[in-house]
Chains A and B, each alone.
Chain A
């Protein structure tokens, strides 16, 4: 039973390029959450999705950031026209429908913007 799978683990982009981060939740989990973490800081909530639905995107920047969780395939966090301030670790977590009090995290995707 594979855990939460995130890829790529490390991603390097130049300013102005696009970054796509993928997350496959644990088997049986239908809720996906994305968090951003800067070095030495806490986890900042970005977005909460269920299949084909964005439930809460109150933590997402208004521009350049988008997320989706299609009926088939992984959840994707997309960052357009990246800037140096986007450099961070992006963690995906999943939970089952009845167990949102326990989040299972992936290993994270570390984005570096040059």
Chain B
């Protein structure tokens, strides 16, 4: 089986930095992805880590530690438009099925 845990809600102010953590338990692991979803919208891909370390894409960075079964998404210079739900997702080998966590709802305040 598999499970992913991430906080249900995070609140931060505009311009700040926020980190959303994700721990996972899975019988097979290929990589960890992050997706963003605004209310009423479709999930959109943000980042992917297959190896340990930090991946940076503009204001967003994602980190993975395979030995700790842990990753995080780091959002810098927060903007109001970053208010959304963020999902970590595990990609499993043998079919590349992607399993999503329950999501973290981020509220950005002025």
B71 is an interface residue with CB less than 8 A from chain A: no
Q: Mark B23-67, 1 if CB is under 8 A from A, else 0.
A: 000000011010100000111110010100000000000000000
List the one stretch of A14-22, A39-47, A66-74, A80-88 in contact with chain B: A39-47
A113 is an interface residue with CB less than 8 A from chain B: no
B97 is an interface residue with CB less than 8 A from chain A: yes
Cα A33 to Cα B96 in complex, Å, equals 10
What are 17 sample pairs from A and B whose C-beta atoms fall under 8 A apart? A31-B96, A33-B98, A41-B103, A42-B87, A42-B100, A42-B101, A48-B96, A55-B95, A56-B95, A56-B97, A91-B42, A93-B43, A100-B96, A100-B98, A101-B31, A101-B33, A101-B96
Known A-B contacts: A35-B100, A103-B98. Give 11 more (CB < 8 A).
A42-B101, A43-B100, A44-B100, A45-B97, A45-B100, A48-B95, A48-B97, A56-B95, A58-B97, A101-B96, A104-B45
A102 is an interface residue with CB less than 8 A from chain B: yes
Q: Which of A52-70 touch B at CB < 8 Å?
A: 55-56, 58
Using a CB–CB cutoff of 8 Å, the interface residues on chain A facing chain B are 31, 33, 35, 41-45, 48, 55-56, 58, 91, 93, 95, 100-108
Residues of A within 8 A of B95 (CB): 48, 55-56
B102 is an interface residue with CB less than 8 A from chain A: yes
Residues of A within 8 A of B44 (CB): 105
Asked if B97 and A42 sit within 8 Å, CB to CB, the answer is no
